[in-house]
Amino acid sequence: MESSCSLDKPDTPPGGCGETSPPPRPLHLPRRDSSPARRLWWIVRSVGTMAGESDLRKLLSGMRPELNPGRFVFTTVTAGVPDGVHPVVTVAEPEGLTLVVRREEADAAGLAYDYVAGWITLRIHSALEAVGLTAAVSRELADAGLSCNVVAGFHHDHLFVPAGDADRAMAVLEDLAIRSA
């Protein structure tokens, strides 16, 4: 008897055709005995291609900025990510690989940096094709005299602002959200 299992099918679980697929579980209740690969497979399968919000007013009023703990730095490497360094952002450029990492990790690895940042996540799922969010947020921060480096993730937008001004940036963003409601 020939198996209908194929590694090319999107529903084939990690580990191949010998495994049976367990029923989907809620994302907030992952299986304790599951491997990271299995958890990622279920998350990707469950999330699929959910579209994010694209209405600018809804994006601004619902952005819920959150300051992530720690300080982060921008650095660059030419020979890959050093051991012990876990970047939160990577950008491949012709000149090298830009990494955004925790300052402690950069220091431990001897990586050079100039800019120390606070990391703010906008907790609204913004559509990648949404128009105006980056411009509105950047303009508001610029009007307050704050620099901002923006990175778009699949689900959220991430802002890196000067570490010493992170609380002030949060206040500016929270005020923008209130005024946009």
Q: What confidence tens digit (pLDDT) does each residue in 50-90 have?
A: 678 888 899 999 999 999 999 999 999 998 999 999 999 99
| Sign for the pseudo-dihedral over CA of 47, 53, 58, 61 | positive
Residue 119 makes CB contacts below 8 A (sequence gap 6+) with 67, 68, 70, 72, 88, 100, 158, 159, 160
- Hey, which bits of 22-123 come out as E strands? 65-67, 72-77, 89-93, 96-102, 116-122
Please report the pLDDT score of residue 1 as a whole number. 46
pLDDT for 117 equals 99
Domain ranges within the chain, ordered by starting residue:
1-48, 56-180
pLDDT at 35 over 80: no
Rounding to the nearest 10 degrees, give the CA dihedral for residues 53, 55, 56, 61: -70
CA 63 to chain centre: 14
Give residues with Cβ within 8 angstroms of 76, minimum separation 6. 93, 95, 96, 97, 98, 99
Least confident of 19-28, 32-41, 49-58, 143-152: 19-28
The answer on pLDDT for 161 being more than 60 is: yes
Mean pLDDT of 99-117: 98
CATH topology of domain 56-180: VC0802-like (3.30.2130)
Confidence of residue 128 (pLDDT cuts 50, 70, 90): confident
51 to 37, 43, 84, 150: CA distances (angstroms): 24, 15, 35, 20
Tell me if 64 sits within 8 A of 123, measured CB to CB.
Answer: yes
Predicted confidence at residue 38, as pLDDT, reads 55
The model scores a pTM over 0.75: no
